[in-house]
Amino acid sequence: MSIIQVTDFANGKFIIPTNPMQTTDLQTYIDDAQRSFLVQLLGVELYDLFIADLVNNVPQSARFIKIFDPFTDQTNDVLTISDGMKEMLKGFVYYLYLRDLVNRATTTGLTKSLPENADNVSGVWYDLNRRYNESVETYKVIQNYMVVVDPTNYKEYEGVNLDYNHNF
């Protein structure tokens, strides 16, 4: 199961330039993040049902399509906007991969690259926390939909809360 692919990071706001040696590394981040964040989002039982419902990495049941695709909802005068699970997962992978790309473990210890014609910038300056927080916002909107708006369709829900990162 791989809802997102390495090619999803080829352009747009989640662009991750890679070379052939890095694509395997990025795929590992994708696989780990997808499973981890979806289990946290849905809980184990609903996650298993969601994965079983996927055909060509797209859900087939109406209840899963609703939370998978982008949506807006206005309940009790509260407007919520979900960018969809795919964009949410891309944001989490983007954050985790680029955060770890700055420092790499090698046989000589933890290293930091020093480019010849450029300066490294902190994660704050290349929007890592903002991308993560945007994904957390969609995560919370999807959870709110399952718990508050339509709990009868998501009886198996046992997800956990996720907190925002701060730019400190």
- Each domain of the chain, given as residue ranges in start order, spans 6-154
Query: What integer is the mean pLDDT of 7-24?
Result: 81
Residue 165 tokens, joined: 């990162």
The proportion of the chain whose per-residue pLDDT surpasses 70, expressed as a percent, equals: 82
Predicted TM-score of the model (pTM): 0.85
Question: Stretch 90-95: mean pLDDT, rounded?
Answer: 95
pLDDT at 124: 45
On the question of pLDDT at 140 being above 90, the answer is yes
- For 81, phi and psi rounded to 5 degrees? -130, 125
Q: How confident is the model at residue 115 (pLDDT cuts 50, 70, 90)?
A: low
Beta bridge partner(s), residue 79: 74
Q: Which two tokens stand for residue 26?
A: 């990025």
Quick check: 154 pLDDT over 50?
yes
pLDDT surpassing 60 at residue 145? yes
Q: 71-75 and 78-82: which strand pairing?
A: antiparallel
Task: Name the more confident of 23 and 143.
Answer: 143
Beta pairing partners, 111: 104
The burial class, CB within 10 Å (0-12 / 13-18 / 19+), for 42 is buried
Q: What is the DSSP string of the chain?
A: --SS-GGGGSSGGG-----HHHHHHHHHHHHHHHHHHHHHHH-HHHHHHHHHHEETTEE-SHHHHHHHS-EEEEETTEEEEE--HHHHHHHHHHHHHHHHHSEEEETTEEEE---SSS----TTTTTHHHHHHHHHHHHHHHHHIIIII-GGGGTT------PPP---
- pLDDT tens digits along 65-82: 999 999 999 988 889 999
Comparison of pLDDT for 129 and 159, the residue scoring more: 159
* Rounded Cα distance, 77 and 49, in Å: 31
